[in-house]
Structure 1
Amino acid sequence: MKILHTSDWHLGQSFMGRSRAEEHQLLISWLLDYVTAANIEAVILAGDVFDTSTPPSYARELYLELVLALYQRDCALIVVAGNHDSVSVLNESKSLLQQMNTYVITQPSWDQLEASLVTLKNRAGERAAMVCAVPFLRVRDMVQRELGQSIDAKQAQLSDRIQAYYRVLYEQAKQVAEDLPIIGTGHLTVLGGQKTESVRDIYVGTLEALPPALLPEFDYLALGHIHKPMQVGGKEQWRYSGSPIPMSFDESGTQKSVAVFDTENKNVDLISIPNFRELRSLKGSRDELVEALAAITNESELCLWLDLTLTDDINIGLFQEQVSELLEGKNIEVLKVQRLRKHISLNTNNGETATLEDVTPQDVFAQLLEEKQLDEDHAKHLAQMFNTFIDENEVAE
């Protein structure tokens, strides 16, 4: 049996005010063609199906279109919730989709472990693999807060609980799997993963990243959250699939792919995904950028999106007018123009202020702590509490 692993689709993403609907539609068409051609019998989508907790209607339609199309191809689908996903939104259609060979797992199931175990069968009706479907593990689902508990104690408790959940689910799977390969999933940061600017740090309580050694010996581990495809723990069969389309300009140079795991020979193949829309970053002086823009062309179907960084301290408004004239009639659009900043500061000596695109909530809070001149330990404690708050309140239920 061949199982395709993908993650971090972020359906409904608004990319600097632009919709990604066309790219996602082309992605679904490509994926369905590949599933048919390569005889894929199951797909695992390891979190962040949607970009926000309230995805637009077209994003939900794309999701259901994918489910229906895979069902028509007799291909199972396992969906686990990511940190961007709303549990309630994914649960809305959970029971219905299960009738279409689609299994949606949104929360850990401590009391009913079998609810997070999915037995995959091949088209001959034979059992081929057992999946321990683990979604993004929110703090409130894992530990109970205790007054007066130290940061280190909270971190140790959370780490122990995550390890315990994976272990108890794995042991339950072993009891029923017999000689079947056991596949794990997860949506979190495992030590060794490389982040991009579109990946917000997941602070699971005070635990930023999980050591691979805490996880059971899965035959394959399908991870989501990191947008670059890579293996973890030095194991070819433990990997992030990466996002299928670039979610930020700094991902534009990464070859996007899906991973295909063969349950019979335990091999993993990386399948390259076409680049449906080019995202390109250019940096230089005004004259260098003008020269580059005059020569640039785009022959693809979708508009090329540009991110321009000026190394000159010039008037951006006048430069943008010049850029508009250069690109008139071309299938190219500039989404962002910025001056090079060696260090982002909320307030600069020349009266400029950073924009919301320049900073994160963590940046703002860090500057506030610096201004208050708190002692290092106290500041670290407050920063960790703030990161926990951000994590627990970003996705509305």
Structure 2
Amino acid sequence: MKLIHTADWHLGQSFHGQERHAEHRAFLTWLLDTLVERRADALLVAGDIFDVVNPSLRAQELLFHFIVSAHERLPHLEIVLIAGNHDSGNRIELPAPLMRRLRTHALGRVSWLDDGNLDTERLLVPLTDASGETRAWCLALPFLRPAEVTGAGMRLDQDEDDDAPNDYVAGITRVHRQLIDAAGKRREPGQALVAMSHAHLHGAAVSEASERPIVIGGEESISAALFPADIAYVALGHLHRAQQVGEARIRYSGSPLPLDFSEVGYPHQVVEVRLDGEALGETQAIPVPRPVAMHRVGPAPLERVLAELAALEDDPALSDARGRERSKEHWPWLEVRVELESPIPDLRARVETALEGKALRLLRLERRLPRVEGGDQKTRVDLETLGPRRLFERTWEQRWGESPAENVLADFDRLRQDVLDADDASTQGDPI
């Protein structure tokens, strides 16, 4: 049996204020072609399907169009979706009855039976081959929020998890164990077990700036030892860097696209998984083509940054004027990081001048400023006595170690007056 494991699509993501629908559409088109080419029996999507709990209509349309197209081209394909911490579990499950007609199983939340036990039946999804025979069981466990796994209303064995760092991790652990135990009793000889979970495992590498912490303090991580050896494959979501955790059978597929400039440097992929009976046969990483290039320039002094920008070449597909105008949504994204010794008021203008005529979209300009000794020390000030202008001067002096120039103060005065004028205009005619 052949599975494709993917996760962290983040459909509808706003990238520094810019939409990425064209990139997501290109990825889903490629994924569908890959499923057909590889003759996959099942697709596992391990959470964070959407970027926010209330995704746009366009983002939802991308998902539903993909599911319908996949069923049309591969009528036997089983699709299993679970909600991640970015998703609304209720929203993921809302169209579940319709999805089941397209052999798609959407699991957004866990539920509890009247006796307080986990409802494991709804989380066990049979995976069938082209002949309709069940070859494996998917343990589809959506992201577990604290309210779902702690407190009263559920029957959990308290003695099992005395070593857990907190009640939340203990609750996650118990839910995993109950589902794994139920799956072991349900399967028949020759059928494999495949666990799918949206969680943070001990020892896994996080990205520099992009994963949203599940719990403040990072104490939500669980142990990979939670998954016993009789689980052939563990399909994980949440961490954007593709990686295995301890064993080849326990893997994060990673996000198919970079979700932050900090993710540009490592490969993005989906994972093909082949099952041989009850065991894992082999896994193969399939690189995802990047529909829009991403460039990260710096950090470096301004002159070197400007030289690097001048050396950037256009994508050959965008070389002519017609191609540029027609394909603006495919122009590469650009982040520029400049190391400064002192303020440069026209920094953005100088960077944009260096980019003039190039098919690039400047999304982020980061100024890296020197630290002034003692600049972080905090002193108490009387704001009413000090006034805005003097407060600005003091802040500048603490940050840069020198007084602001006259042209800087003139700019500050002009901006402050603009704010005051705007306030006056907004209150015209208001009763006292």
Q: TM-score, normalised by structure 2?
A: 0.75
Return the alpha-carbon distance in structure 2 between the equivalents of residues 32 and 96 of structure 1: 20
Aligned positions of 1:313-332 closer than 5 A: 313-332=341-360
Aligned positions of 1:240-251 closer than 5 A: 240-251=252-263
User: Which residue does 2:248 correspond to in 1?
Assistant: 236
User: Which residue does 1:389 correspond to in 2?
Assistant: none
- Read off the aligned partner of 2:252 and give its amino acid letter: Y
Question: Which stretch shifts more, 246-255 or 303-312?
Answer: 303-312
Q: CA, structure 1 residues 323+207, in 2 after alignment: closer, same or farther (shift >3 Å)?
A: closer
Tell me how large the CA RMSD over aligned residues is.
2.5
Task: State the identity %.
Answer: 30
Aligned positions of 1:125-274 closer than 5 A: 125-144=132-151, 155-179=165-189, 180-196=191-207, 197-203=209-215, 207-217=219-229, 218-232=231-245, 234-264=246-276, 266-274=281-289
Post-superposition shift, 1:206?
7.4
Post-superposition shift, 1:207?
3.1
Return the alpha-carbon distance in structure 1 between the equivalents of residues 351 and 166 of structure 2: 53
Return the alpha-carbon distance in structure 1 between the equivalents of residues 218 and 7 of structure 2: 24
- Deviation track 1:15-65 (CA, whole Å, cap 9, x = no partner) reads 001111010010011101111111011101100000001111100000101
Return the alpha-carbon distance in structure 1 between the equivalents of residues 346 and 167 of structure 2: 56
- Is residue 125 of structure 2 the alignment partner of residue 118 of structure 1? yes
Return the alpha-carbon distance in structure 2 between the equivalents of residues 295 and 156 of structure 1: 52
Post-superposition shift, 1:188?
1.2
Q: CA, structure 1 residues 135+342, in 2 after alignment: closer, same or farther (shift >3 Å)?
A: farther
SS in 2 for 1:133: strand
Return the alpha-carbon distance in structure 1 between the equivalents of residues 306 and 218 of structure 2: 46
- Deviation track 1:346-381 (CA, whole Å, cap 9, x = no partner) reads x95772699xxxxxxxxxxxxxxxxxxxxxxxxxxx
Return the alpha-carbon distance in structure 1 between the equivalents of residues 342 and 197 of structure 2: 46
Contact 2:6 2:253 in 1 (8 A): yes
Return the alpha-carbon distance in structure 1 between the equivalents of residues 370 and 14 of structure 2: 27
- Read off the aligned partner of 2:61 and give its amino acid letter: E
Q: CA, structure 1 residues 228+110, in 2 after alignment: closer, same or farther (shift >3 Å)?
A: same
Return the alpha-carbon distance in structure 2 between the equivalents of residues 324 and 162 of structure 1: 49
Among 285, 308, 311, which residue is 2:301 paired with? 285
Post-superposition shift, 1:306?
1.2
Question: Which stretch shifts more, 122-131 or 325-334?
Answer: 325-334
- Deviation track 1:57-84 (CA, whole Å, cap 9, x = no partner) reads 1000001011111211122110000000
Post-superposition shift, 1:208?
2.5
Return the alpha-carbon distance in structure 2 between the equivalents of residues 266 and 160 of structure 1: 32
Q: CA, structure 1 residues 193+206, in 2 after alignment: closer, same or farther (shift >3 Å)?
A: closer
Among 282, 287, 296, which residue is 2:312 paired with? 296
Aligned positions of 1:368-383 closer than 5 A: none
Post-superposition shift, 1:154?
8.4
Q: CA, structure 1 residues 295+93, in 2 after alignment: closer, same or farther (shift >3 Å)?
A: same
SS in 2 for 1:288: helix
Post-superposition shift, 1:141?
0.4
Post-superposition shift, 1:341?
4.9
Return the alpha-carbon distance in structure 1 between the equivalents of residues 361 and 46 of structure 2: 32
Among 75, 78, 81, which residue is 2:80 paired with? 78
Post-superposition shift, 1:316?
4.9
User: Which residue does 2:38 correspond to in 1?
Assistant: 38
SS in 2 for 1:52: coil
SS in 2 for 1:49: coil
Q: CA, structure 1 residues 154+167, in 2 after alignment: closer, same or farther (shift >3 Å)?
A: closer
Contact 1:138 1:204 in 2 (8 A): no
Return the alpha-carbon distance in structure 2 between the equivalents of residues 205 and 113 of structure 1: 30
- Read off the aligned partner of 1:67 and give its amino acid letter: I
Post-superposition shift, 1:289?
0.7
- Read off the aligned partner of 1:20 and give its amino acid letter: R
Contact 1:8 1:48 in 2 (8 A): yes
Post-superposition shift, 1:6?
0.3
Q: CA, structure 1 residues 206+329, in 2 after alignment: closer, same or farther (shift >3 Å)?
A: closer
Return the alpha-carbon distance in structure 1 between the equivalents of residues 33 and 236 of structure 2: 23
Q: CA, structure 1 residues 290+204, in 2 after alignment: closer, same or farther (shift >3 Å)?
A: closer
Q: CA, structure 1 residues 342+144, in 2 after alignment: closer, same or farther (shift >3 Å)?
A: farther
Q: Which runs of no fewer than 5 residues in structure 1 stay unpaired?
A: 147-151, 355-397
SS in 1 for 2:62: helix
Q: CA, structure 1 residues 156+100, in 2 after alignment: closer, same or farther (shift >3 Å)?
A: same
Aligned positions of 1:102-113 closer than 5 A: 102-111=104-113, 112-113=119-120
Contact 1:142 1:162 in 2 (8 A): yes
User: Which residue does 2:18 correspond to in 1?
Assistant: 18
Question: Which stretch shifts more, 307-316 or 191-200?
Answer: 307-316
Contact 1:282 1:309 in 2 (8 A): yes
- Read off the aligned partner of 1:215 and give its amino acid letter: F
Question: Which stretch shifts more, 57-66 or 107-116?
Answer: 107-116
Q: TM-score, normalised by structure 1?
A: 0.82
